[in-house]
Structure 1
Amino acid sequence: MTDFERKVYRIIFNMTRFGKNPSMEQLKRKTRKDEHAIRDAVKNLMRERMLKWDKEKEKWMF
């Protein structure tokens, strides 16, 4: 896991702990990266099974 992936993971983890799913705009503001970089990081985290999107509950699973 790269430093950037760790940062994205921690942002998603901390926000979902309080019942909020971070939007792309919030992730862009907090990481200061573009959408493409954020999507790549999330895809890698999902590939490594660190993150999973629950479609029924519409929230992230860890």
Structure 2
Amino acid sequence: MTDFERKVYRIIFNMTRFGKNPSMEQLKRKTGKDEQAIRDAVKNLMRERMLKWDKKKKDWVI
């Protein structure tokens, strides 16, 4: 896991812990990166099974 992936993971983890899903705009503001870099990091985290998207609940599973 790269430093950027770890940062994205921690943001998603901390926000979902309090019942909020971070939007792309929030992730862009908190990381300072563009949308494509964030999408790539999330895809890698999902590939490594660190994150999973629950389609029914529309929430992250960590």
- Which residue number corresponds to residue 26 of structure 1? 26
The number of aligned residues is: 62
Q: What RMSD, in angstroms, separates the aligned Cα atoms of the two structures?
A: 0.2
- For the pair 1:58 / 2:49, whether they are aligned, the reply is no
After TM superposition, the runs of 4+ consecutive aligned structure 1 residues lying more than 3 A away are: none
In structure 1, the partner of 2:37 is 37
Letter in 2 for 1:43: K
SS at 1:50's partner residue? coil
Deviations, residues 24-52 of structure 1 (Å, cap 9, x unaligned): 00000000000000000000000000000
2-structure distance, mates of 1:46, 1:17: 18
If the length of structure 2 is used for normalisation, what is the TM-score? Answer: 0.99
Q: Residue 53 of structure 1 aligns to a residue in which SS?
A: strand
Gaps of 5+ in 2: none
- The code of the aligned residue for 2:10 comes to R
The 2-side partners of 1:50 and 1:44 are apart by 9
Unpaired runs of 5+ residues, structure 1, are: none
